[in-house]
Structure 1
């Protein structure tokens, strides 16, 4: 028997699980605490992502220097109290550039995930609900797009569009569309035969309203999990594009470009130029993946013991 996403979510009885864990009180915070204790790595990922978002939001207050300010007199300065993570070959403060680089990574990650997800949902809903030749055309286009890896297709797109923040977001978003569309389509195909959809049709509700009001809400759970998984991939892809010189252009701070500028020439003489941007990229991707895995376990009843 097929269960909709709402039914699967309802099957997670937090109160029963709390009693099993020995908790006698109920409430939102109790549930959050229980889930954090049960999914420690997911909680750690959420903390990392929260810090990442707060850093991006308050970068102007956290950074000690202007990330674009050049100071040739202090070029390649080692980490010290004045410059916590040292300076680069232009005398720019590495800590300040990493802090402001979080904004770019967050903008690209959220922007491309939201754009690709929105288009993918529209394509998947249309394909699954209408079926027929519309479904056939969309599926063949998806096959073509999925034939190439995310990074390769993003490289082709950025090379054609040129390096800029909007172009990078668009280039990374397009390869995400087929995956989101297929997940949405699969859920739509199962849901359109459900009794509540037939009931909506019988009272004269339009096809568009049925799709948006009844089908789409029941596909949100897997889409949320997919979005968190794609967030880490988009951050890593942006760093890879910038590392290859096709991402965010100078002088704007990008973690990938910071690595690209330093990896070959200064990896031995000024290792902090490679270590700190690498740690920032790793933490952001690691946090997104940990949180995504935990969210999948929570929303998927098959993962619960």
Structure 2
């Protein structure tokens, strides 16, 4: 009898479950420890700014809660009432920890508001330039080139010298110096997307210009905008701090981190370093954390970098 060979059944390899693009992007983002640290710091800063009235030891701008007897106390000192000032106090007896949290709150409000307004204007201008082209594109982009040819700090200083001090004035100045970055970014992405078949199909269906621009073209230009917006928030915080340090930014009654640094600058030589240094450290940590998140977002949302 001939031997009959029995072939064992071939086991099928288990199929991997498909991962959604959003989940894949989240996993790529979480693969960077620095980006995760930056994200945690950002979340803590935002929560601290939102809940500042409830988590701070005192309202640093409520005169009834201040005592001149507690002025210029070093970090870790206790007041006559037994309160511990972990980061010391300033010449007015304000708790520096509370002042920094309130200052961070103002810096974030100004930066985020200015970024959102500039983003909206820049998106509209960039999409319009890319979609219509021709003279409209030339006109808008020449304005953008003119805007970007001047240093942002110089333009902001000139605007605030004309408009005067105030939170709203600082926001307007930041919007004017930032919108051009978004316009150029959107235009570059929209010029590529405009050549796609789905845009031609939308036009062939007789859809209006506004619907094609903002319903079909704009969503496909968002990934680079998210990256630019994240980085520009950090730039806005730094620029606002510079303007406030120079005395042309937010008023004394609504101080930001930049103004806190300026208020303590004259006390550095007397040894009261904490009045200026600690707000400066908070400003540095905020900018670095946002930039870490922005850098990782750029790597995640850019297919070329991901490969």
- TM-score range, shorter-chain basis? 0.7 to 0.9
Summarize deviations over 1:152-202 as a string: whole Å, max 9, x none.
211111221111111111111111111110111111222122111111111
Q: Contact 1:67 / 1:253 at 8 angstroms: preserved in 2?
A: no
Summarize deviations over 1:74-120 as a string: whole Å, max 9, x none.
11111125211111111111111111112111111111110111100
Find the aligned partners of 1:26 and 1:144 in 2 and give their Cα distance.
45
1:171 aligns with 2:167: no
Match of 1:135 among 131, 134, 137: 137
Find the aligned partners of 1:62 and 1:32 in 2 and give their Cα distance.
34
1:206 aligns with 2:208: yes
Structure 1 equivalent of residue 96 of structure 2: 94
**Structure possessing the higher radius of gyration over alpha carbons:** 2
Structure 2 equivalent of residue 14 of structure 1: none
Find the aligned partners of 2:196 and 2:141 in 1 and give their Cα distance.
23
C-alpha change, 1:229 and 1:29, in structure 2 (3 Å) is closer
Structure 2 equivalent of residue 12 of structure 1: none
Q: Which runs of 5+ in 2 are unaligned?
A: 1-15, 79-83
Find the aligned partners of 1:32 and 1:206 in 2 and give their Cα distance.
33
Q: Contact 1:116 / 1:177 at 8 angstroms: preserved in 2?
A: yes
Find the aligned partners of 2:52 and 2:20 in 1 and give their Cα distance.
34
Q: Contact 2:75 / 2:86 at 8 angstroms: preserved in 1?
A: yes
Q: Contact 2:111 / 2:233 at 8 angstroms: preserved in 1?
A: yes
Find the aligned partners of 2:280 and 2:268 in 1 and give their Cα distance.
14
Match of 2:246 among 230, 244, 247: 244
Q: Which runs of 5+ in 1 are unaligned?
A: 1-18
1:75 aligns with 2:68: no
TM-score w.r.t. structure 2 length?
A: 0.87
TM-score w.r.t. structure 1 length?
A: 0.88
Which stretches of structure 1, 4 residues or more, deviate above 6 A after TM superposition? 24-30
SS of residue paired to 1:50? helix
Q: Contact 1:232 / 1:285 at 8 angstroms: preserved in 2?
A: yes
SS of residue paired to 1:117? helix
Q: Contact 1:98 / 1:253 at 8 angstroms: preserved in 2?
A: no
Q: Contact 2:245 / 2:259 at 8 angstroms: preserved in 1?
A: yes
Matches within 5 A, 1:1-305: 34-68=27-61, 69=63, 70-80=66-76, 81=78, 82-305=84-307
Find the aligned partners of 1:27 and 1:178 in 2 and give their Cα distance.
34
Q: Contact 1:62 / 1:99 at 8 angstroms: preserved in 2?
A: no
CA RMSD of aligned residues (A): 2.0
SS of residue paired to 1:253? coil
- Aligned pair count reads 283
Offset at 1:33? 7.2
